[in-house]
Amino acid sequence: MSKSYLKFLLLSLLLIDFTSAKVTVDCRVVTGGITECNPFTHKFLKAKEVKYTKDKQKLIVDKTLPVPKKIPLKVVSVVDIIEKYVTVEDSMRFKGSKEISSENVLLQEEKNISKKQLEIKEQNSSKNIEKFEIARKIFFEKMRKVKIESEKKRLEALEIAKEEEKKLEVLRVAEAKERKNLEKEKEKEKEKEKGFYTIQRGDSLSTIASKFSIKTATLRSLNNLKNRSTIQIGKKLLIPYAQKRVDIIAKAEYCVKAGDSLNAIARDFNVTVTNIKKFNKLKKNTMIRIGQKLSLPLPYKIAEEKALAKKEALKKKKERAKRKKLARKNKKVKMIRGFGKRKLRVTATAYSSHRRQTDKTPFLAAWNNRIRPGMKIIAVSRDMLTRYGLRNGSKVKIGGLSGYYTVRDKMNKRFRKRIDIYMGINRRRALRWGRRSVMLYW
């Protein structure tokens, strides 16, 4: 044992003798004669508390905690401990000797104290174990009861859920029946609304679908037709409209009933009032009467009318062309009968009395014929003179031009089957004539 420890024991024994007050004091200043002490200090306890607030920095606050209740502890002197718990026995080493040193006595006391402390700890540990076992049993008992209650609640909930499921199943069956009934009613209504269209000459699936403003695919699916299947004239096709509406759209004709108006009819068939008036040649303020038949300006009807108008226009053009041809033939026959027996298609050009188009004498022709503006004369190629029998002074008729023309001039040797019409001094007129293919009669 160290000397410092011995000194501490001696001082504690001296202090116990000096103090005899029974007031509870701080355990750190225990003196002789004090039987109880306070384990807590007389000062207040302090703690630091960190507070956080929204959108602000942290704040450290010093908080003073209240002093706990005083729990007085019993103070036992060393002498009492030695008398009660320490038994001094003879040392085995110094057996036989009567004198025992104080140091050996203290060591022996310390050993005895440690043994006692171990016994106390074992007793306390056994007690704690018993308490723990009791607490554990109580806890598991409570847990078992809780488990049993939860199992009961779960079973009750399952039964309730099964009952609700049965109720829902009954409701589902009832809803399914209602849906089937509604679908059947809708199908019946649709069958009532369906009509039939008889296929006519020139019809195709696409034209019929556009006529009734439906898709070709829907028309095929309604009539169970394949993509490449053909349709025959006289057969009936199912249309998703009432039969009355199908007949009206097919004919593009509507019979006015009581309560009808032009606006209502136009809205029903998706057309405009102005088109209805144009189709039926109605005036602005005319009133419709019951039983009156109105032709509807449906898109397919408008297209048909445009096609008819084009055909009529082509027919008129052809008739005009025929009339013109007949008129020309009649004129030629008259000209041939009344004037000459010979005709020839030639190339006709025009010239005027200018030095660039003639020589230095623009008013003097080939056979020294004097010419002047306003005269109806022509110049001919030399083959027309030698081969076709024309000569100076021959009268000819030019197709498309009125009056008679006289041959008074001849052209260069390089030209063949050609005539040159004299235009006087009107150069612009000559240029405007250009070159044309005409019939020449003589």
Specify the CATH number for the domain of residue 364.
2.40.40.10
Burial tier of 122 (Cβ tally within 10 Å: 0-12, 13-18, 19+): exposed
**In percent, how much of the chain has pLDDT > 90?**
9
Query: Do 250 and 207 share a domain, yes or no?
Result: yes
Query: Do 79 and 119 share a domain, yes or no?
Result: no
Q: Into how many domains does the chain fold? A: 4
Query: Do 164 and 124 share a domain, yes or no?
Result: yes
Across the range 393-404, mean pLDDT stands at: 89
Query: Do 104 and 20 share a domain, yes or no?
Result: no
Query: Do 55 and 79 share a domain, yes or no?
Result: yes
- Side chain identity, residue 140: F
Is residue 269 very low, low, confident or very high in pLDDT (cuts 50, 70, 90)? confident
Query: Do 166 and 199 share a domain, yes or no?
Result: no
Residue where a domain stops, chosen among 61, 85, 109: 85
Which position has the higher pLDDT, 47 or 379?
A: 379
CA distances from 181 to 186, 194, 240 (A): 9, 20, 21
CATH number, domain with residue 244: 3.10.350.10
Query: What residues form DSSP beta bridges with 73?
Result: 37
Q: Model confidence over 136-168: pLDDT tens digits?
A: 788 888 888 888 888 888 888 888 988 888 888
Query: Do 15 and 42 share a domain, yes or no?
Result: yes
CB contact at 8 A, 358 and 402: no
Look at phi and psi of residue 262 and say left if phi exceeds 0, alpha if psi is from -120 to 50, else beta.
alpha
Q: Using DSSP bridges, classify how beta strands 36-38 and 236-239 pair: parallel, antiparallel or unpaired.
A: unpaired
Residue 320 maps to a domain? no
CB contact at 8 A, 307 and 300: no
Residue 346 maps to a domain? yes
Residue 187 maps to a domain? no
Helices (H) and strands (E) in the chain, counts: 11, 15
Give the span between the Cα atoms of 342 and 383, in whole angstroms.
15
Query: Do 298 and 199 share a domain, yes or no?
Result: yes
Burial tier of 307 (Cβ tally within 10 Å: 0-12, 13-18, 19+): exposed
Residue where a domain stops, chosen among 245, 275, 302: 302
Question: Two tokens at 70?
Answer: 């005083």
The range of the structural domain enclosing residue 233 comes to 195-302
Residue 426 maps to a domain? yes
Across the range 93-100, mean pLDDT stands at: 49
Is residue 224 very low, low, confident or very high in pLDDT (cuts 50, 70, 90)? confident
Is residue 193 very low, low, confident or very high in pLDDT (cuts 50, 70, 90)? low
Residue 310 maps to a domain? no
Q: Model confidence over 48-73: pLDDT tens digits?
A: 566 665 665 655 566 565 656 656 66
Query: Do 286 and 347 share a domain, yes or no?
Result: no
Give backbone dihedrals phi and psi of 83, rounded to 5 degrees, phi first. Answer: -65, -40
What's the alpha-carbon Rg for the chain, to the nearest Å?
69
Q: Is the pLDDT of residue 44 over 50?
A: no
CB contact at 8 A, 403 and 376: yes
Across the range 104-121, mean pLDDT stands at: 67
Query: Do 202 and 298 share a domain, yes or no?
Result: yes
* Helix 3-18 / helix 78-85 crossing angle, nearest 10 deg: 110
Residue 313 maps to a domain? no
Residue 356 maps to a domain? yes
Query: Do 344 and 431 share a domain, yes or no?
Result: yes
CB contact at 8 A, 91 and 98: no
Residue 327 maps to a domain? no
Give the span between the Cα atoms of 84 and 132, in whole angstroms.
32
CB contact at 8 A, 411 and 418: yes
Is residue 177 very low, low, confident or very high in pLDDT (cuts 50, 70, 90)? confident
Query: Do 355 and 436 share a domain, yes or no?
Result: yes
